[in-house]
Amino acid sequence: MATTATKPSTGKYWLYFLIAFVIFMFMLIFMNQWFWVSMPFMLTFLVMALGFM
């Protein structure tokens, strides 16, 4: 009996990544000394959207 594993939907993680990316770019342009604060969120959602976590 074969079982198929369904891949979880990553659409919401792509949306979260895009929002975090916009915030990251905003902070990089206007508050460049604080851009690193948003970086962990952006990278975490990218990894989750790619399905590696």
Confirm whether 36 is domain-assigned.
yes
* pLDDT band at residue 53 using 50, 70 and 90 as cut-offs: confident
Confirm whether 1 is domain-assigned.
no
Number of domains in the chain: 1
State how far the Cα of 21 lies from the Cα of 27, in Å rounded to an integer.
Answer: 10
Q: Residue 45: which domain range?
A: 11-50
Confirm whether 21 is domain-assigned.
yes
Residue 3 confidence (pLDDT): 65
Query: Of how many residues is the chain composed?
Result: 53
Q: Is the pLDDT of residue 1 over 90?
A: no
| pTM for the full predicted model | 0.79
Q: Is the pLDDT of residue 45 over 90?
A: yes
- Strands (DSSP E) contained in 1-49 are none
Long-range contacts of the stretch 39-46 (C-beta < 8 A, 24+): 42/17, 45/13, 45/14, 45/16, 45/17, 45/20, 46/17
Residue-wise pLDDT tens digits, 8-43: 788 999 999 999 999 999 999 999 899 899 999 999
